[in-house]
Structure 1
Amino acid sequence: MSEDYSKVTREYLFGTWKYQKTWNPKVIVKAEGTRFTDSTGKSYLDFSSQLVCSNLGHSNEAVKKAVADQGAELSYIAPGFTTPVAAKLARKLAEVAPGDICKSYFSVGGAEANEAAVKIARFYTKAPKLIARFRSYHGATSGAISLTGDPRRLYAPVPPGTVHAPDVYCYRCPFGLEHPGCGVRCAEYIGEIIEMEGAGNVAALFVEPIVGSNGILVPPDDYMPRLREICTETGTLLVADEVMTGFGRTGEWFCVNHWGVVPDIITLAKGLTSAYVPFSATMVRKPIADYFEEDNLFCHGQTYANHPIGCAAGLAAVEEYQRLGLVARAKKMGEYLGKRLNELQDSHPSVGEVRGKGLFWGIEPVKNRETKEPFATRKQRFEPTMLGTMAGEALKKGVYFMTVLNTMIFAPPLIVTEEEIDEGLGVVDEVLKLADAECT
């Protein structure tokens, strides 16, 4: 490759979530299956499905063909019209969604899906306030970032109206308690917030069923059912942000299925198209759908709503999950990945906790297992950290995985094999020695 496209990129494109002078991106030219290749010909095992979105793996023929065929036939039409592919996808999603979740609004990304959920919740309840959690990420747009508890929220003014609650973080319980003796205090506290804010003033509670980029925080089994009870008792809508966890990622079609919980609204993106096309969905239960069938205006829309190519990618992706049995496969392979990660914990003093479900796992390294001293604080969100160093060394060895502050994220495509898991964890085993060397 004659031209230096990394240099061109640095000159003409912003890098996301980083100081620009630190960015020297690799130029990626090809991806297939669980691997991607840079401009030098070096291949990398994709051990995080990029940003936990390439669930089907790269270069799936069925999805590529669906996108190409739809583009050739009808690449765009205004959302006031409909298309066969939009109708088919909406029906297909209703078939696989939990409970009586039955109607969709299609947009172009997870943040937009959550923005739509905010408006729908406020339309339906007539209440202004929202509740979200401190360790959360719901998107970068103005409304979505106001829900977000992640430190990224602190870098720009956000709209008022969101109250943040403590997390379900048993390893570092914000209440200093231990489950199950805690009585799921973190859930009960949310109930108290709703009571103090005034139940009629709170439109919705937004939660990631398993917190994603803020730590792969897996709740105890009584947490989500208790939130469902609290929301039902107070007339607050429960919104499940399944942008990361949906479409087989955790070994179920949707993460809430692990606990038999049906949210009022569910937001989807990433795995919906396996990232072949930017696309998302906001889905609602039947009472909310029926509300807008009455004399109540659905006052929301976008130019790219119901985009035909996005719908084609989504429909093909969902059909591929079904054809290949990838939801069940994610559960099976996730058991193997979890077992191997726990073996790493036994051999590395820096591994504080291993947590996850399906093919959605994280390691939280610590400097000291007894004190749980972290390698970085939340204030260091955009600074060089030990975990960033480990990820960089892994990349040199041909394995890519995400790190966010104090969590190493392992979420390979659902087509991953045991041999590829062993390959990836072989490199993880090596780079963890860097953290081990700083343990006290």
Structure 2
Amino acid sequence: MADTLTSQQVVDITKQHNFGTWRRGKQWNPLHVVSGDGCWFTDASGKRYLDFSAQLMCVNLGYNNQAVIKSIQDQAAELAYIQPSYTTNARAELSQLLLEVLPAGLTKFFFCTSGTEAVEAALKIARLYTGKTKVIGRYRSYHGSTATSMGATGDARRWPSEPRSKLPGVVFGPEVNCYKCPLKHSYPECGIACADYLEYMIRNEGDVAAVLCESVVGTNGVLIPPPGYYQKLRRICDENNILLIADEVMAGWGRTGKWFAINHWDVQPDILTTAKGITSAYVPLGLTAVSQKISDFFEENLFAHGHTYEAHPLTLGPAVATIREMQRLNLVDRAAEMGSYMGEKLNALKAKHPSIGEVRGLGLFWAVELVKDQKLKTPFNTWQEKLDGKPLVVDQIAARMMASGIFLQAWMSHFVIAPPLIITKEEIDFALAAFDEHLSIADALIG
């Protein structure tokens, strides 16, 4: 039947019978995409788009990787499903591979089907292990859309669900943001006061099980901690006998030029959550990895968690293939190398455009923050405007980029630039030439 539908019918049926998530239905006009190859995807009219943000910062291998596609086919032919109380070849092979690439000391794994489920599992594990209740999150954070993970999310996406689904026991502290410090300090003179504030919270809240952090904040602006932040936070957690949870759903899998972002600071988390790049998003897989001390606890205590699609064979086989492809193509080192090139190009744009407040990034994970005033760091738009569905300046620029054949993820007053790790310098140049042109929209609004 699908072959007989026009592209417009496909769009109309989708709009009529599907939710356009994180938007009002009347504002949704989905692009009908039919194929992808390398760093490019193609719509039903035949127009090609360079994917400059790896969709939702997840298609790390690009499109149409034949090794991963074959692994899906092979796993489906071998064993499409078995309940999680059994095991499979793919489960054992992936577990062995994870011991090679994850931060040292993470030895026990729970497999689910998304990043939000991985965070749900992590928080449940932390509470079971510690016997404590509270979790400290940070305000500029996103951890998922189900009840627990949304309750632990600091940004305004949790507002529409409150107070009915607010998660008891979650309290929020300041994010680490050296560009626009929420405590109005400056690094390094501040002595990393944002970490000190979390310590103050821990000691005054009581009953704290864990601190939950995106190792590098993703959608909320690729916020990169300064040297010493995670080392200090690790010490604070140890001194107060609480767990440190690193959310690497977006920042993991080579994105920052290390296998995992937390590796930049040589800090070992007690729990790590990830998804997205673990299969290059070809199939849905999430992972919660824990330290040996937590693993030992559950040898004698009930692991009170699980679901039907836990450790689903069709998700695990492709994860093995994805890791092997990353190793074969040396993509972690390549992300670091191409990231240096990207950073030079983006900083050249900052020098040229008065609307760019800051450029920041690691590897192939960058943010370009737009401001009305570089000195005051005033954003063009607010959270409330976004929630009200008002047009944002970054969305106008992103629309022009799409018209130029480039997909770029816009959010609030910044862009998240996170292309597939296979992107070439020529493709980067092509995208940034268009970006350079369309930033004139924001420049013109500076009075």
| Fold match (TM-score > 0.5) | yes
For 1:55-74, list aligned pairs within 5 A. Answer: 55-74=60-79
Instruction: Give the match for residue 104 of structure 1.
Output: 109
Please state how far the C-alpha of 1:3 moved relative to its aligned partner: 4.6
SS of the residue 1:26 aligns to = coil
Instruction: Give the match for residue 382 of structure 2.
Output: 377
Instruction: Give the match for residue 246 of structure 2.
Output: 240
State the distance in 1 between where 2:113 and 2:422 align.
Answer: 25
State the distance in 2 between where 1:406 and 1:215 align.
Answer: 9
Q: Is residue 2:165 matched to residue 1:160?
A: no
The residue type equivalent to 1:177 in the other structure is H
Please state how far the C-alpha of 1:380 moved relative to its aligned partner: 1.9
The residue type equivalent to 1:270 in the other structure is K
SS of the residue 2:258 aligns to = coil
Q: Is the 8 A contact 1:167 1:186 kept in 2?
A: yes
Task: State the Cα deviation string for residues 296-339 of structure 1 (Å, max 9, x = none).
Answer: 01110010000001001111101111111000000000000011
2:125 aligns with one of 97, 113, 120: 120
Q: Is the 8 A contact 1:127 1:203 kept in 2?
A: yes
State the distance in 2 between where 1:159 and 1:210 align.
Answer: 23
Task: State the Cα deviation string for residues 186-237 of structure 1 (Å, max 9, x = none).
Answer: 0110000000012xx1111100011000111111111111111111111110
Please state how far the C-alpha of 1:381 moved relative to its aligned partner: 2.6
State the distance in 1 between where 2:385 and 2:100 align.
Answer: 43
SS of the residue 2:371 aligns to = strand
Instruction: Give the match for residue 434 of structure 1.
Output: 441
Instruction: Give the match for residue 411 of structure 1.
Output: 418
Gaps of 5+ in 1: none
State the distance in 1 between where 2:7 and 2:184 align.
Answer: 56
State the distance in 1 between where 2:61 and 2:99 align.
Answer: 21
Task: State the Cα deviation string for residues 18-75 of structure 1 (Å, max 9, x = none).
Answer: 0110101110000111000000000000000000000011110000000011011111
Which stretch of structure 1 is more off in the superposition, 135-144 or 154-163? 154-163
SS of the residue 2:204 aligns to = helix
Please state how far the C-alpha of 1:260 moved relative to its aligned partner: 0.2
Q: Is residue 2:10 matched to residue 1:2?
A: no
Task: State the Cα deviation string for residues 326-357 of structure 1 (Å, max 9, x = none).
Answer: 00000000000011000000110000000010
Instruction: Give the match for residue 209 of structure 1.
Output: 215
Which stretch of structure 1 is more off in the superposition, 343-352 or 90-99? 90-99
Please state how far the C-alpha of 1:137 moved relative to its aligned partner: 0.2
State the distance in 2 between where 1:193 and 1:120 align.
Answer: 22
Please state how far the C-alpha of 1:431 moved relative to its aligned partner: 1.1
For 1:284-363, list aligned pairs within 5 A. Answer: 284-293=290-299, 295-363=300-368
State the distance in 2 between where 1:332 and 1:380 align.
Answer: 38
Q: Is the 8 A contact 1:380 1:405 kept in 2?
A: no
Q: Is the 8 A contact 1:167 1:174 kept in 2?
A: yes
Please state how far the C-alpha of 1:370 moved relative to its aligned partner: 1.5
State the distance in 2 between where 1:124 and 1:372 align.
Answer: 43
TM-score (norm 1): 0.98
What RMSD over aligned residues (CA atoms) do the two structures have, in Å? 0.8
SS of the residue 1:336 aligns to = helix
SS of the residue 2:167 aligns to = coil
State the distance in 2 between where 1:407 and 1:191 align.
Answer: 30
Instruction: Give the match for residue 277 of structure 2.
Output: 271
Task: State the Cα deviation string for residues 92-132 of structure 1 (Å, max 9, x = none).
Answer: 11221112111110000000000000011011100000010
Q: Is the 8 A contact 1:124 1:288 kept in 2?
A: yes
SS of the residue 1:170 aligns to = coil
Q: Is the 8 A contact 2:152 2:167 kept in 1?
A: no
Instruction: Give the match for residue 179 of structure 1.
Output: 187
2:43 aligns with one of 38, 47, 59: 38
Q: Is the 8 A contact 1:54 1:270 kept in 2?
A: yes
1:421 aligns with one of 424, 428, 434: 428
Q: Is the 8 A contact 1:94 1:103 kept in 2?
A: no
SS of the residue 1:172 aligns to = coil
State the distance in 1 between where 2:185 and 2:7 align.
Answer: 57
TM-score (norm 2): 0.97
2:154 aligns with one of 135, 149, 154: 149
Question: How many positions carry a matched residue from both structures?
Answer: 437
State the distance in 2 between where 1:321 and 1:125 align.
Answer: 36
The residue type equivalent to 2:99 in the other structure is A
State the distance in 2 between where 1:2 and 1:297 align.
Answer: 53
SS of the residue 2:41 aligns to = strand
State the distance in 1 between where 2:111 and 2:342 align.
Answer: 33
Instruction: Give the match for residue 19 of structure 2.
Output: 14
Q: Is the 8 A contact 1:151 1:381 kept in 2?
A: no
2:199 aligns with one of 191, 194, 206: 191
State the distance in 2 between where 1:329 and 1:171 align.
Answer: 27
The residue type equivalent to 1:223 in the other structure is Y
Instruction: Give the match for residue 401 of structure 1.
Output: 408
Instruction: Give the match for residue 82 of structure 1.
Output: 87
Q: Is the 8 A contact 2:115 2:276 kept in 1?
A: yes
Gaps of 5+ in 2: none
The residue type equivalent to 2:234 in the other structure is R
Please state how far the C-alpha of 1:279 moved relative to its aligned partner: 0.6
Please state how far the C-alpha of 1:2 moved relative to its aligned partner: 2.5
State the distance in 2 between where 1:195 and 1:273 align.
Answer: 39
SS of the residue 2:22 aligns to = coil
